[in-house]
Amino acid sequence: MSFVMADNGDDDNQYRIKEGDYVVLKRGEIFKAVQIQPRKKVIFEKQWIFLDNAVGQLYSTTFEILSGGNLKPHELKDTASPLDAVEAGTDNRNIVDDGKSQKLTRDDIEALKEKGLKGQDIIKKLVDNHATFGDKTEYSQVKYIKKKKKKYENTVMILKPSCRILAMMYHGREPGKICHLRYDTLAQMLTLANIHAGSKVLVFETCAGLVLGSIMERMGGYGSVIQMYPGGGPVRAGVENFGFPAHFHDTLHEFPICHVNALLAGTLDTSAKDPTAENTHEKQLNLAAEKKQNQPEAEEQGTPEEESMVTNTGDDAGQDVEKTEKDKLKEAKAQVKKLRLEEKQRKLAATAALLKGRNADGLVIASRFHPCPVLLGLLKFLSPSRPFVVYSQYIEPLIECFKKLKECGGTVNLRLTDTWLRHYQVLPDRTHPLLLMSGGGGYLLSGTTVATDHSKPAGSKQAEEPAPKRQKLEDTEG
């Protein structure tokens, strides 16, 4: 029995907030990803917050923001609802919205806040001082109180980061950073690409690392993820917000997209040397030669008095010390640069070895670039009967990809789909779609690779196709 209780304690620990964890703050429909750090001010919804008191609490806990920005777990009290003992009207036809029904002014509400009244008490005061609240229908009263709770209840919820929560956060705050990729579209991508633990997945994305992090979360730290990146280096801001353990990053590899053609052609050089090494060596030789030339010139010059010699030698010694310090700093920087280059080349060689097998299990593309050349190049690294999925905010690039794949062959089950999402309000006697909805969630092109028969020439099949037609014409003429 004690073993079971200890096991439950370990399980409970992983659901508690710890210092250094990445978390997501939530208030209403607003999200923000932050890291728990001691005595660090966090700005959320124009308000300073300290997250120190959240350490040790369970995730999904609602906290009350006290004066000074400190947090306190929100206690749910069985207080009387503002709607208790309030009669409701039959309709709102006689209510005039002239702004005079509320007796409390803004200064009165600020004074209540300064006295320390909490959100629930302020809402109760607003209801009591509302002249036409009793004439509103029951639905209007509930809607009014819900609106005031959103404004005056000073609470925040701390959530554990996940693919869904971070996708909703990015789509709500900065959709342009993730190419307007909606969370339901991202879920379809993970399903269509058959992302699972133990697989080898190729990823090309410019969505701030959101798609990459979602794939790593789905794989659970097993398998390998190869990120193909444009430019000088990969962008993984979104991956950090997931807060993965260290062993998750061991499965992550990177490869520049500009070297794909060289790898396919077999001309990729992974043992490149530092291009600045030869230049620095030449500079050292030139400096040594200049010193040798300057020494005899100094000897040929006449010798001044002893005092001036002492001062000159002192100045020269100080200059030599400064030069040696500068040389040491240059050597240290060069050494660090050399080590970084060697590490980069080592990673490049390891990733190239993974790609040379051409046995990847899936391909996911979601970028702001035109997907057609990227798709045609990366499909060659997939094994037969493996899924691939391409996301684009617009349908025209995917139509071009669809036509190219039909012409080139090697793929089946090609599907070009449009994702559509609408939220519904589900309440007694008033269930209906929400008035506002997302205009579009982008488009997806998915399919499956197949092995092609390279033994026959490309034109042999086309030459054989008209033969039955000619035979049929000969039979009808006879």
Mean pLDDT, range 40-58, rounded to an integer: 88
Question: Is 22's pLDDT higher than 60?
Answer: yes
The mean predicted confidence, pLDDT, of the chain is 80
pLDDT at 121: 73
Question: Is 246's pLDDT higher than 50?
Answer: yes
pLDDT tens for residues 67-115? 788 888 877 665 555 555 566 766 767 677 766 677 777 777 777 777 7
Question: Is 42's pLDDT higher than 60?
Answer: yes
423 in Cβ contact with 183 (< 8 Å):
no
Concatenated DSSP letters of 125-188: HHHHTBTTGGGS-HHHHHHHHHHHHHHH--EEEEE---HHHHHHHHHHH-GGGGTT--HHHHHH
Mean pLDDT, range 273-296, rounded to an integer: 50
Could you give the CA distance from residue 5 to residue 414 in angstroms, rounded to a whole number? 52
* Weakest-pLDDT range from 62-71, 74-83, 164-173, 413-422: 74-83
* Weakest-pLDDT range from 145-154, 355-364, 396-405: 145-154
- Among 102-106, 145-149, 177-181, 308-312, top mean pLDDT goes to 177-181
Mean pLDDT, range 51-60, rounded to an integer: 90
2 pLDDT tier (thresholds 50, 70, 90) = very low
Concatenated DSSP letters of 70-122: -EEEPP---PPPTTTT----S-STT---SS-SB---HHHHHHHHHTT--HHHH
pLDDT at 472: 54
pLDDT at 281: 47
pLDDT at 459: 47
180 in Cβ contact with 208 (< 8 Å):
no
Mean pLDDT, range 451-472, rounded to an integer: 55
Mean pLDDT, range 165-184, rounded to an integer: 92
pLDDT tens for residues 363-387? 999 999 999 999 999 999 999 999 9
274 pLDDT tier (thresholds 50, 70, 90) = very low
468 pLDDT tier (thresholds 50, 70, 90) = low
Question: Is 393's pLDDT higher than 90?
Answer: yes
- Partners of 69 in the beta sheet? none
pLDDT: which is higher, 260 or 324: 260
- What is the b/e burial string over 311-338, where b = at least 16 CB atoms within 10 angstroms of the residue's CB? eeeeeeeeeeeeeeeeeeeeeeeeeeee
pLDDT tens for residues 200-237? 999 999 999 999 999 999 999 999 999 999 988 888 88
* Weakest-pLDDT range from 31-35, 102-106, 369-373, 444-448: 102-106
Q: Tally the residues of the chain.
A: 478
Mean pLDDT, range 308-336, rounded to an integer: 69
Mean pLDDT, range 314-322, rounded to an integer: 62
Packing angle between helix 183-192 and helix 210-219, nearest 10 degrees? 50
pLDDT at 126: 78
Could you give the CA distance from residue 67 to residue 60 in angstroms, rounded to a whole number? 22
279 pLDDT tier (thresholds 50, 70, 90) = very low
Handedness of CA 118, 119, 122, 123 (dihedral sign): negative
255 pLDDT tier (thresholds 50, 70, 90) = very high
Task: For the chain, give the percent of residues with pLDDT over 90.
Answer: 37
pLDDT at 12: 76
Mean pLDDT, range 178-204, rounded to an integer: 95
Pairing of strands 362-366, 200-205: parallel
* Other CB atoms within 10 A of residue 148 CB: 17
Question: Is 456's pLDDT higher than 60?
Answer: no
pLDDT: which is higher, 307 or 165: 165
| pTM, 2 dp | 0.75
188 pLDDT tier (thresholds 50, 70, 90) = very high
122 pLDDT tier (thresholds 50, 70, 90) = confident
Question: Is 39's pLDDT higher than 60?
Answer: yes
